[in-house]
């Protein structure tokens, strides 16, 4: 009897365990699949979620400010307006969003030949990055872009590291040889989540400390739009 009871227990246990394991595994796959499908549906270009009043670019040419590169998707091939660096080829572009974003990819239209960005480094949720400290910081991710990088190419973010971004900073470290860097288009793809709280005032009180001369802010980003 004892022997039979064991057999029966093992048999029952095995059958139950197998059934449960299989059922659970299947359910898990469905949930993951559903999440991916939902995210793919929610994923979009984030042009309208950029806080354009507080976007800034350090070392930008006053005539060719950062808003000249922030364009809607249907103007991605437009080269009549562009962002250009000033004293040398480097740029620090800080982009605040109006909510929290999970970044999936960015697109960038390079200027002609040697003026296009080469090495780009990304930092998140820091509003104090300038030319005095950027080289002391470890980027969250880096990319190297080819000459003549087309505006319809997508460069992927490591999504796990860019899942709750309020503020993205891109440091254009080098270009392909010209004295200045030109960017005709800059856009971000991802998933936007509105903030549930009231807007945080003074999140972007950007007062660069004296130091590197390139840390000057544009007089007013809106002036560059010819408004």
Q: What is the pTM of this model?
A: 0.74
Q: What digits encode the pLDDT tens for the residues 49-67?
A: 999 999 999 999 999 999 9
Which of 219-226's residues contact partners 24+ apart within 8 Å by CB, and which partners? 219/62, 221/52, 221/53, 221/55, 221/56, 221/65, 221/66, 221/67, 222/67, 223/65, 224/62, 224/63, 224/64, 224/65, 224/66, 224/67, 224/68, 225/65, 225/67, 225/68
Q: What digits encode the pLDDT tens for the residues 2-22?
A: 444 444 444 444 444 444 444
């Amino acid at each position: 009897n004892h022997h039979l009871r064991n057999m029966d227990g093992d048999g029952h246990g095995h059958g139950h365990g197998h059934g449960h394991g299989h059922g659970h595994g299947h359910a898990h796959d469905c949930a993951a699949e559903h999440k991916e499908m939902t995210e793919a549906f929610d994923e979009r270009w984030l042009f309208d979620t950029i806080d354009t009043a507080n976007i800034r670019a350090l070392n930008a040419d006053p005539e060719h400010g950062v808003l000249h590169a922030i364009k809607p998707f249907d103007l991605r091939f437009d080269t009549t307006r562009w962002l250009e660096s000033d004293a040398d080829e480097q740029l620090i572009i800080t982009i605040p969003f109006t909510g929290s974003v999970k970044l999936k990819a960015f697109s960038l239209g390079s200027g002609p030949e040697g003026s296009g960005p080469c090495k780009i480094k990304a930092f998140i949720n820091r509003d104090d990055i300038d030319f005095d400290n950027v080289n002391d910081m470890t980027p969250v991710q880096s990319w190297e872009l080819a000459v003549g990088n087309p505006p319809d190419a997508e460069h992927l973010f490591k999504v796990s590291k860019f899942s709750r971004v309020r503020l993205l900073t891109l440091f254009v470290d080098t270009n392909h040889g010209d004295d200045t860097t030109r960017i005709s288009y800059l856009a971000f793809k991802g998933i936007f989540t509105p903030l549930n709280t009231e807007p945080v005032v003074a999140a972007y009180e950007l007062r660069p400390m004296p130091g590197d001369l390139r840390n000057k802010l544009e007089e007013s980003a809106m002036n560059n739009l010819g408004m």
